Structure 1
Amino acid sequence: MQMKIAFTGKGGSGKSTLAALFVQHLRAAGHRVLAVDADVNVHLAPLLGVTARAEDALSHPDNARKVRTHLLGTNPLIDGPDHFVATTPPGPGSRLVTLEAGDPVLAGHATALDERVHVMHVGTYEPGDIGTGCYHGHLAILENLLSHLDPADDGWVVCDMVAGTDAFANSLHAQFDVIVVVAEPTPESVSVARRYRELADAAGVLDAVAIVGNKVADRFDLEYLERELGVEPIAVLGAQTGLRRARQAGTPPRPEDLDDASALTRIADHAAVRSLSAVDRQDLMRTLHLRMAGKGWVRAAHGDVSTQLV
Structure 2
Amino acid sequence: MAALFTQYLRTAGHRVLAVDADVNVHLAPLLGVTADAGTALSHPDNTRRVRTHLLGTNPLVDGVDHFVATTPPGPGSHLVTLDPADPVLAGHATALDPLTHVMHVGTYEPKDIGAGCYHGHLAILENLLSHLDPDSDGWVVCDMVAGTDAFANSLHAQFDVIVVVAEPTPESVSVARRYLSLATAAGVADAVAVVGNKVADDVDLEYLTEELGIAPIGVLGMQTGLRRARQAGVPPHPGDLDDASALSAIAAHAEIRSLPPAQRESLMRTLHLRLANKGWVRAAHGDVTSQLGAVR
TM-score by length of 1: 0.94
Any gaps of 5 or more consecutive residues in structure 1? 1-17
Aligned position for 1:5? none
- CA–CA distance in 2 between the matches of 1:298 and 1:273? 37
Deviations 1:142-195 (A, max 9, x none): 000000000011000000001110000010000000000000001110000000
Instruction: Give the TM-score, by structure 2 length.
Output: 0.98
Partner of 1:260: 243
In 1, are the aligned partners of 2:159 and 2:259 still within 8 Å (CA)? no
Separation in structure 2 between the aligned mates of residue 276 and residue 47 of structure 1, nearest angstrom: 29
Alpha-carbon shift at residue 133 of structure 1 (Å): 2.0
Question: CA–CA distance in 1 between the matches of 2:153 and 2:122?
Answer: 9
- Paired AA for residue 97 in structure 1: V
Which residue in the other structure is 1:23 paired with?
A: 6
**Counterpart residue identity of residue 47, structure 1:** L
Alignment of 1:192 with 2:175, yes or no, is yes
- Does the 8 Å contact 1:96/1:150 carry over to 2? yes
Structure 1 counterpart of 2:28, one-letter code = A
* Cα distance in 1, alignment partners of residues 263 and 213 from structure 2: 26
Does the 8 Å CA contact 1:33/1:117 hold for their aligned counterparts? yes
Among 62, 65, 68, which residue is 1:85 paired with? 68
How many residues get paired? 293
Residue 148 of structure 2 is aligned to residue 165 of structure 1 = yes
Query: Residue in 1 aligned with 2:44?
Result: 61
User: Which amino acid letter does the alignment assign opposite residue 133 of structure 1?
Assistant: G
Root mean square deviation, CA, Å: 0.6
Matching residue of 1:244: 227
Q: In the TM superposition, what are the counterparts of 1:120-131 in structure 2 within 5 Å?
A: 120-131=103-114
Which residue of structure 1 aligns with residue 191 of structure 2?
Answer: 208
Secondary structure of residue in 2 paired with 1:152: coil
Contact 2:156–2:188, Cα closer than 8 Å, also in 1: yes
Q: What aligned pairs does 1:212-223 form with structure 2 within 5 A after superposition?
A: 212-223=195-206
Q: In the alignment, residue 281 of structure 2 is paired with which amino acid?
A: V
Distance 1:69 1:187 in 2: 46
Quote how far apart the aligned CAs of 1:276 are: 2.5
Percent of matched pairs sharing the same residue: 82
Q: Which has the higher contact order (CA 8 A, sep 6+)?
A: 1
In structure 2, what is the Cα distance between the partners aligned to 1:145 and 1:57? 13
Q: 2: CA distance between counterparts of 1:47 and 1:245?
A: 14
Give me the whole-angstrom Cα distance separating, in 1, the residues matched to 2:135 and 2:274: 28
Query: What does the per-residue CA deviation read over 1:229-288, in whole Å, with 9 as the maximum and x for residues that have no partner?
Result: 000000011000000000000000000000011111111000001252111110110111
Which residue does 1:155 correspond to in 2? 138
SS of alignment partner, residue 193 of structure 2? strand
After superposition, the C-alpha distances for 1:91-120 in whole angstroms (9 at most, x for unaligned) are 000000000010000000000001110000
Equivalent residue of 1:25, what SS?
A: helix
Q: SS where residue 47 of structure 2 aligns? A: helix
CA deviations 1:16-45 (Å, max 9, x no partner) are xx1000000000010000000000000000
Between the aligned partners of 1:243 and 1:139, the Cα distance in structure 2 is 30
Q: Unpaired segments of 5 or more residues in structure 2?
A: none
Q: CA deviation at 1:129?
A: 1.1
Match for residue 228 of structure 1? 211
In structure 2, which of residues 29, 38, 57 is the aligned counterpart of residue 74 of structure 1?
57
- How far apart in 1 are the matches of 2:231 and 2:54? 41
SS at match of 2:41: coil
4+ runs deviating over 6 angstroms: none
Counterpart Cα distance in 1 of 2:266 and 2:57: 24
* Counterpart Cα distance in 2 of 1:49 and 1:167: 26
